[in-house]
Structure 1
Amino acid sequence: MTKLEEPDRRILIELQRDGRLSNAELSQRVGMSSSPCWRRVKRLEEDAVIVGYRASLSPSALGLGLIAFVSVKIGAHSDDEAEAFGRAVQNVPEIVACYSITGAADFLLQIVTADLESYAMLSAKVLRRLPGIKEMNSSLMLTEVKAFKGFPIQAGGVRS
């Protein structure tokens, strides 16, 4: 784990808010000159603290009106079975996230589709055919109460 100093935290807070900031704007916001700020950003990238820059997209604007969370139990609890399942989900674009979890299920999938009919078709023709599935339980999102906006970073001993 990379040791984060206070200037690193301030940089990360600002880049999570707006990944398109120019180095000049970023350095001004964090109270540093441009060169040291740029070097810190490069180090954070090299240390894989910053792993990419993306646009945050609206699912509904893309015609993706249904978000489902699917708990999956696999039949055999072998490494091969789990790895086969993990490889298979990589090939399903509607599965936007997959986590190996503790508890009653083995995996949790986050899935986006246009609507309930599209989800039903995906479930029947794709999800149920993924390797090793013993049981699936779907929960459909009604409303998004809190959207992911970034990871919590302590700056100056105060939450950002």
Structure 2
Amino acid sequence: MSDLTETDKRLVDILSRDSRISNAELADQVGLSASSCWRRVRALEDSGVIRGYTVTLDDEKMGFGFKSIVHVQLTRHDPDKVSAFIRAIREREEVRACYATTGQSDYHLHVVCPDLAAYNRFLEDFLFRIPAVASAQTNLILRPIKE
């Protein structure tokens, strides 16, 4: 399902803003019957356009007052070391997202911690102990603009 119709795009847009919307309300907003809307959403799920539904957490209320983007450079791109890096990153609750990128850094991590001391422990006790990691540069997140 690579060619999305305008209705499909509207469905995806509405669901991306509120995935808990009822099927009846969603159908009403896009001008479809409830059964037709359900079938279209199901087709979007089956085709992989919609991969899943998530919740958006409030970092402050979860106790994560320290938020950063960490730019990681690897020593080498040895497949075994890269795989070990990826496995380790996937295991850490502090890492909300990880992206392999082009440019000066190899990976960009979205990291949350309770405070600066916890972040320092994350760096020293975890990130810098991964053999593939050569360096990491941290940018603090001051405030979200779009999530």
TM-score in terms of structure 1 length: 0.87
Q: Could you say which residue in structure 2 is the equivalent of 1:157?
A: none
| Cα distance between partner residues in 1 of 2:38 and 2:18 | 16
Q: Could you say which residue in structure 2 is the equivalent of 1:153?
A: none
State which drifts further: 84-93 or 37-46. Answer: 84-93
Amino acid paired to 2:23: N
Q: Could you say which residue in structure 1 is the equivalent of 2:2?
A: 2
| Cα distance between partner residues in 2 of 1:51 and 1:110 | 21
Please list every run of 5 or more consecutive structure 1 residues that lacks an aligned counterpart in the other structure: 149-160
TM-score in terms of structure 2 length: 0.94
Q: How many residues align?
A: 147
Q: Could you say which residue in structure 2 is the equivalent of 1:55?
A: 55
State which drifts further: 70-79 or 22-31. Answer: 70-79
Q: Which runs of structure 1 show a deviation greater than 4 angstroms over 4 or more consecutive aligned residues? A: none
Q: Could you say which residue in structure 2 is the equivalent of 1:104?
A: 104
| Cα distance between partner residues in 2 of 1:97 and 1:14 | 23
Q: Could you say which residue in structure 2 is the equivalent of 1:46?
A: 46
SS in 1 for 2:91: coil
Q: Could you say which residue in structure 2 is the equivalent of 1:155?
A: none
How well do the aligned residues superpose, as a CA RMSD in angstroms? 1.2
User: Does residue 125 in structure 1 map to residue 133 in structure 2?
Assistant: no
| Cα distance between partner residues in 1 of 2:20 and 2:131 | 40
Q: Could you say which residue in structure 2 is the equivalent of 1:136?
A: 136
